[in-house]
Structure 1
Amino acid sequence: MPVPNTPRLPRTLAREEVYARLRDWIVGGVLPPGEVLRDHDIAAQLGVSRTPVREALRRLEDEGLVETALNRWTRVAPLDLGRAAELYGLVEVLEVLALEQAAPRLTGNFLERLEQANADLARALGERDAARALSADDAFHAVWVEAAGNRTLAEVLGPLKVKLRRVELAYFGHEVRGERSLGEHTAMVDALRAGRWDRAAALLRQNWRGSLERLVAQQGAGADP
């Protein structure tokens, strides 16, 4: 299994670091769909024992990023566009719920953070920097999830959005997209400043549905990751 060269991990950080690295490699496509994962190879590459690797693989299996056939193989789960479409719908509903819970508190510093994230997105789009654009978009959406103060909601949303990032990176690579999101974000901030919570929620729904439409259009164009 080809994996990037990486320094050995401190033992105290092994469990979380092994999980985070494997997840990032799967989401980013370094480990593509169908790639067989051998715990002893991964352990040797990362300089850890097989125990944290096995724990990480079980955790990733629970999250749907890895699949296992008992005593046969463990591999990166294939991409399923039908499941991806379901994920977009779930994330939309949960983010709208978070926005509704957070709306009365989205003032002052929270609004400033939204504006800063959107400014970062605009700069990244202008510079054709896909990685920064993705980070800025994530930062924008994270503001109302944090402001909602609902830990269970945040814990449920986190893995779902990781799966969506994997799908988008697989089908769109590192191509910079997001001009439409930029305008929707600006309109959302304006709505929140004006206390128009329903308008902000409608724009958020539009934002997520536009992402799904983009995926469907890409699939129709014959994408084959």
Structure 2
Amino acid sequence: MPTPLPHGIHKRSLLRNDVYESIRDAIIDGTFAAGERLRDPELEAWLGVSRTPIREALLRLERAGLIVSQPGRATMVASLDPAATKDARQVVAAMHELATRLAVPVLTEEHLANMVTANAKFSAALETDDVDAALAADDQFHAEMVAACANAMIPLVLDQSMPVLRRMEYQRFSSDQARHSVTAHAQIIKLASLGDTEAASLATRDNWLSLDTQIQN
């Protein structure tokens, strides 16, 4: 579809990461469709920034598997690749399982309360078919474990692996399949509050691996 309006939605002082996130999110939610060509001048007009941060963002998106570049020819949105998505799902599941193993012994009441709040927001967003809000609440839920685990490498790996998986998450959260995650989140909270590190870690892993159903479909 055409580049979104309004143009110039970002100021010149926009951080490079914000440019990356804007283009990434437009790919994830389907604003930029698979196979669509991304043109620098149109992206500049849309984002209101110069070509340099856009080119840097496109390089990151290529490494993340969301775009493909043909030197001297075109930059296009990558097609959904089931194999790449499955690989990303396995890595993300492993990272969140590790984060939970490290986090559960040091979780505070505040962490648990934040997870309960995030899951309530997640459930409410699904009820109103607000996919963006559901994704944000899901991120908030899992971010508590990642923050508590205090392993600086985990968010770096997740940042690299999540974009390609997020396209599939967007589809899942648009369907009834996502309701399963509300129950899964509640179970993770319960196990974590009991201090059951092993069970909470496996429940977290299974929550992410359950995305495999959507990939197969």
TM-score of the superposition, structure 2-length normalised? 0.90
Q: Deviations over 1:17-43 (max 9, x none)?
A: 322211111111111111111112222
Q: Deviations over 1:87-106 (max 9, x none)?
A: 11111111111111111111
Any gaps of 5 or more consecutive residues in structure 1?
Answer: 219-225
Matched, 1:131 2:132: yes
- 1:111 is displaced (CA, Å) by 0.7
Task: Give the paired residue count.
Answer: 216
Q: How does 1:99-110 map to 2 (within 5 A)?
A: 99-110=100-111
**Preserved CA contact (<8 Å) 2:187 2:203:** yes
| Alignment partner, residue 204 of structure 2 | 204
| Alignment partner, residue 146 of structure 2 | 145
State the alpha-carbon separation in 1 of the partners of residues 31 and 183 from structure 2: 32
State the alpha-carbon separation in 2 of the partners of residues 24 and 145 from structure 1: 22
**Preserved CA contact (<8 Å) 1:102 1:147:** yes
Q: Which deviates further from its counterpart, 198-207 or 175-184?
A: 175-184
Is the radius of gyration larger for structure 1 or structure 2? 1
State the alpha-carbon separation in 2 of the partners of residues 106 and 99 from structure 1: 10
Any gaps of 5 or more consecutive residues in structure 2?
Answer: none
| Alignment partner, residue 182 of structure 1 | 182
TM-score of the superposition, structure 1-length normalised? 0.87
| Alignment partner, residue 113 of structure 2 | 112
| Alignment partner, residue 122 of structure 1 | 123
Question: What's the C-alpha RMSD, in Å, of the aligned pairs?
Answer: 2.0
Q: Give 2:109's aligned amino acid.
A: G
State the alpha-carbon separation in 1 of the partners of residues 112 and 88 from structure 2: 27
- The percentage of counterpart residues that share the same residue type is 36
| Alignment partner, residue 80 of structure 2 | 79
State the alpha-carbon separation in 2 of the partners of residues 125 and 40 from structure 1: 36
State the alpha-carbon separation in 2 of the partners of residues 22 and 37 from structure 1: 10
Q: Give 1:136's aligned amino acid.
A: A
CA pair 85-195 structure 1, distance change in 2 beyond 3 A: same
